[in-house]
Chains A and B, each alone.
Chain A
Amino acid sequence: MTDIISASNITVTRDNKDILDNVSISVNADDFITILGPNGAGKSMLLKCLMGFYKPEKGMINRTPNLRIGYVPQQFVSEQTLPISTKRFLTLRKKVDEEEIEKIADETNIKSLLEKPVHVLSGGERQRVLLARSLIGNPELLVLDEPAQNLDISGQLAFYKLLEQIYQSRSLSILMVSHDLHMVMATTKKVVCLFHHICCSGEPQIVTKDPEFVSLFGNDMAEMMAVYQHGHNHTHEVHDHD
């Protein structure tokens, strides 16, 4: 497998504190990685380093040249004072033809929203629009930063279902920061637990049993995950015998 993007031993220091401490991570083609960790653990910073917003003090970021990255940020509050249609927002600073817009709007189910102003959209609609924007230009890697954070539970379910569909139907890798591990347990291939350093990483079923995971999130969380795992026992068994 080839890395499309990787960080090796990166350290980021802010205000004399190591936000990231000797962190290494690599994303392969067709990967689905979920990063989780408590607030302030450096998750967003890791994404920002990988995407090149920040240069880490130590360590290296390697990216395949001209890697096409689509970014889905956290929920945003749209100012009513700025009038802009969804379609215009999607194409802002992008070179894209009608056909691609149509296709992506179909894929993300936002066709009926295109002519509406962004500020009237609901949280879930807005998040689908951000997802649609990230798909313009046929990205090889989608980076998502707590994409469903402010959605209600059914909104979260719908969003992750859509994300799974996109992952299955397109050939792209996904790197996501999310607390909603239970929602992507079946699809995510790898989980990385981050608390300034990488505590543990691996397949979700294995990671959630890791003592580091338990110490980071407590017994309750670990037990809860065990319940979710139970539901996916089949896939788990198959993997084990591979």
Chain B
Amino acid sequence: MTMIEPFLVKALIAGILVALIAGCMGCFVVWRRMAYFSDSLAHSALLGIAMGVMLDVNHNLSVMVSCICFAFFLIWLQRKKVFATDTLLGILAHGSLAVGVITITLLEQRMDLHSYLFGDILTVGDEQLWWLFIGGGFVLIALSLNWSSLILMTIHEDLAMAESVRVSRLEILLMLLMTIVVAVSIKIVGILLIASMLIIAPAAARQLSRSPEAMAIFACLIGIIAVVSGIYFSFEFDTPSGPTIVAALAAIFAILFPLSNFYRKN
């Protein structure tokens, strides 16, 4: 076998890191029905990227800041109790996506909008790898430290509160972690497809698992298989990396789906 190209090694490391982070975080997205929220958060990230370009700030940072603003703005609107959360999310997500696209088009610099929307794993640089290591490490450590509490409050919030779990604090933590996941993985799968990394792998894993930990581990493994095969196809056939990875995930889900009938009874 010939030497693997260095850019492919970087792409593989980046992809595997994203699979690990998204696998664990994604379980909570599936359990707590945050799928639409994660999707909207990712949409709003484009505005963050535009801001980053405008102010000449690192994209990871500007995306985190814009996503956090998005999250708190959403909470504020939710408290008004005028519209249902999905309506609010729709307004905020598409509003900020639209403003983001306009801003990027108006900027003097030529930017490859396509690579932000769909990701470009084959051009991942060293700096982005560091962001993935540190951001991803933080997410994984924070999740594992609070694992049981997060699961208990997912099953029953009042019960968790009665057993002195700080529920509202952990909810904010989850949102914060989600912004980190979105920010560091945009380069890999792109704004439009991040949510699918968070949802499909855990959903496929559910069909194999009998405990929350097993589901997280299977989600990571499925993510890794999808990323590796996605990168291979993307490289061989020159397809966009993000969609290829997501297509691989969807294929794995489809293959595992018949099992769900069996597991539902167990």
Residues of chain A having any CB pair with chain B under 8 Å: 48, 51, 53, 69, 71, 73-74, 76, 78-85, 88-89, 92-93, 117-118, 120, 130, 133, 143, 145
Contacts and interface: CB of A to CB of B under 8 A. Distances in A.
A61 to B, nearest CB: 15
Interface in B144-180: 148-149, 151-152, 154-156, 158-159, 161-163, 165
Interface centre among B163, B211, B265, B266 (most CB of A within 10 A): B163
Contacts of B152: 92-93
28 contacts: A51-B162, A53-B161, A71-B158, A71-B159, A73-B162, A78-B155, A79-B31, A79-B154, A79-B155, A81-B206, A82-B31, A82-B154, A82-B212, A82-B215, A83-B214, A83-B215, A85-B210, A85-B211, A89-B155, A92-B151, A92-B152, A92-B155, A93-B148, A93-B152, A130-B159, A133-B159, A143-B162, A145-B158
Contacts of A79: 31, 154-155
A92 B148 contact: yes
Interface in B114-165: 148-149, 151-152, 154-156, 158-159, 161-163, 165
Contacts of B206: 81, 83
A51 to B, nearest CB: 6
Does more than half of chain B's interface fall in helix, strand or loop, or is it mixed? helix
B80 interface: no
A200 B150 CA distance: 40
A69 B215 contact: no
B229 interface: no
Contacts of A130: 159
A85 B149 CA distance: 16
Given A71-B159, A73-B158, A118-B155, A84 B212 contact: yes
Nearest to B214: A83
Contact of A74 (B155, B158, B266): B158
Contacts of A48: 161
Contacts of A120: 265
Nearest to B203: A81
Interface string B168-200: 000000000000000000000000000000000
B153 to A, nearest CB: 10
Given A76-B155, A82-B154, 5 more contacts: A53-B162, A80-B264, A82-B155, A92-B148, A93-B163
B209 interface: yes
Contacts of B264: 80
B239 to A, nearest CB: 31
B203 to A, nearest CB: 8
Contacts of A82: 31, 151, 154-155, 212, 215
Contacts of B225: none
Contacts of A145: 158
A84 B162 contact: no
B151 A117 contact: no
Nearest to B260: A80
B55 to A, nearest CB: 40
Contacts of B155: 76, 78-79, 82, 84, 89, 92, 118
Contacts of A118: 155
A142 to B, nearest CB: 11
Nearest to B208: A83
Nearest to A133: B159
B151 A84 contact: yes
B209 A83 contact: yes
B30 interface: yes
Contacts of B203: 81
Contacts of A83: 206, 209-212, 214-215
Nearest to B32: A79
Given A81-B206, A84-B151, A92-B151, A76 B211 contact: no
A118 B265 CA distance: 11
A115 B258 CA distance: 24
B106 to A, nearest CB: 42
A155 to B, nearest CB: 19
A78 B155 CA distance: 6
Nearest to B212: A84
Nearest to A93: B148
A81 B214 CA distance: 13
A76 B156 contact: yes
B210 A117 contact: yes
A81 B31 contact: yes
A118 B154 CA distance: 13
A71 B214 contact: no
Contacts of B211: 83-85, 88
Given A82-B154, A82-B212, A73 B31 contact: no
